[in-house]
Structure 1
């Protein structure tokens, strides 16, 4: 079994080295993202005036060269496990998937949950686009028969894929072997265990993406830290954040996956707070643990109209809670009441 890592994040080389030492896989490869992305960008940029069909043909002609540029060896795989459905043709991961497919068109495909985006199965391609891709031999995963593994299949709303087979993943066990293995892979350190040190954790949103007013966010943060005490409160910055607008305790170790932090921390007594960060849902989805969650999106609703799918999922996860520990306040006064209730 081989593992390919899309090296788009800091620390990818160190993770590969750790995996090599642990010998969990026969081979571990880093995809040369920058080189591949440059090749793909050049193809699409040079052919903007060419119709879509011709652009696909040009791309297919170059595909094997691009694939071989970052795959050290050419292997005929029988099974491929990918982290989510790949709709976009001109992307590095799609290039990789098609490269494997071209080596063996009978390859079995399993799709594995990667975050909450996996719960929104939407076919974004028109019938014409799909037909073109099939005609010239491109793999279009949603049109194939495959298993789709998620932790809570019941949260996936109705979809139109007739060949998909939903499979349930068991919650990850927090046993010593699992924790030690993942900690060795990612180089986890005890100082990253913020949930053990701070009861209240605010998970920041990417303000540019969500178009949230900085001033409004700071006002809400002041209300929260004032009620729970600054010494009990920390802000975990979003990896895409370019600016720190917060005071007090800050966690900005972006190379540490949030899933790894939650794996190493005891969460049931923590309070995870955010506007609409789906990271608040990770403990329930991944470990079936129920920390207290407070989502604030109703306080910013005019700024979050585009986030209907995230809201649907968050409210669906809320319904799966066994205890009354998931709150979505409608205004600041209700937020204060919730914080006072938790403090008791």
Structure 2
């Protein structure tokens, strides 16, 4: 029996794709609510009977260190809905506290359980599995809770050749693939309530901006006298061009922060972008803009398609609009350059160093798109 974990629409999309490896096997899915509410999606998944069982694991209490220690010590009692069974393998895409606890619970039934790491976007290629802060790692060691890169035996990525992470113990790098069955794609569309209208909006758009979730920065604003709404409106007004904004599935009530005469905020934010563009034959004529969202690279990594891409992280970092290393780092730049290296037409993947340069690039792109 196989276990898979997911906390976002993209992760669920990948878990469904992984099912084809286990067509004659029983697979259970564990869904976490710490990123976004997945209850409605879980109900639809149950109706489709893609997985044997689906568990919902609510957000963990992290009010203080004591509550976290209590949760970790008594994790079996804190996860009453989870029936601990013997699993052969566990697929994870992140090694946060919830994943760590479930992994250790499942090890009580099979301490030799295989641990597989599947892609969760950009950082999976250059950071790999998340390494906890030193304090959390010490706490895990003290409580005999563990999950780290040494436990992983296989890493699954949509584009393995982009990986720069040095894993130990001869970890196997495997390629993720998307189901090519029209029946399965329509089933996934139904699970995520993707309407024809949503697909039409995407197909008719020339420029899309992908919001990035910065909710973890609750106590400080990572932008200095700047926000994402200003970025989008500046681009739209300078170019006199309508822009579709796709809010991050992880954002909570963030769509209201985007407003402007030329701005349209999408109403299908819980739908995986990768399914929205599955039938879009004109994706390579669109321009995808983001600070550092994973969505702008998946047309290439998942489908081999090459839309125009404009990454704004470097321009914001160099201009002093932010000093956050979550917006831009040397490792991120190296990764994006590797993606650019895969493009047949490398002029379509752009990393401007100033916002003025970004606008000039967009003017050129619009001329090419509207030919």
Q: What interval of TM-score do these two structures reach, taking the shorter chain for normalisation?
A: 0.7 to 0.9
- The one-character-per-residue Cα deviations of 1:217-237 (angstroms, maximum 9, x if unpaired) are 55653453246543x422223
Q: Unpaired runs of 5+ in structure 1?
A: 48-54
2-side partners of 1:22 and 1:139: how far apart? 34
The answer to whether 1:286 aligns with 2:295 is: no
The answer to whether 1:340 aligns with 2:363 is: yes
TM-score, normalising length: structure 1:
0.80
1:197-276 maps to which residues of 2 (within 5 A)? 197-206=204-213, 209=217, 211-213=222-224, 215=226, 220-226=231-237, 228-230=239-241, 232-238=242-248, 239-240=250-251, 241=254, 244-247=257-260, 248-266=263-281, 267-276=283-292
Q: After TM superposition, give the deviation of residue 243 of structure 1 in Å.
A: 5.0
Aligned length: 322
Deviates more, 1:320-329 or 1:262-271: 262-271
Which of the pair has more CA radius of gyration? 1
Query: What secondary structure sits across from 2:174 in the alignment?
Result: strand
2-side partners of 1:233 and 1:42: how far apart? 39
- The one-character-per-residue Cα deviations of 1:268-315 (angstroms, maximum 9, x if unpaired) are 111101222232112112222111101122331231451314333222
TM-score, normalising length: structure 2:
0.74
Instruction: Tell me if the contact between 1:2 and 1:28 (Cα under 8 Å) persists in the aligned partners.
Output: yes
RMSD across aligned positions (CA): 3.2
2-side partners of 1:294 and 1:288: how far apart? 17
- The one-character-per-residue Cα deviations of 1:219-275 (angstroms, maximum 9, x if unpaired) are 653453246543x42222334237514313122543223333233534111110122
Name 1:195's counterpart in structure 2: 202
The answer to whether 1:30 aligns with 2:52 is: no
More helix by share: 1
1:330 to 339, 350, 353: 353
The answer to whether 1:148 aligns with 2:152 is: no
Instruction: Tell me if the contact between 2:116 and 2:152 (Cα under 8 Å) persists in the aligned partners.
Output: no
Q: Unpaired runs of 5+ in structure 2?
A: 1-26
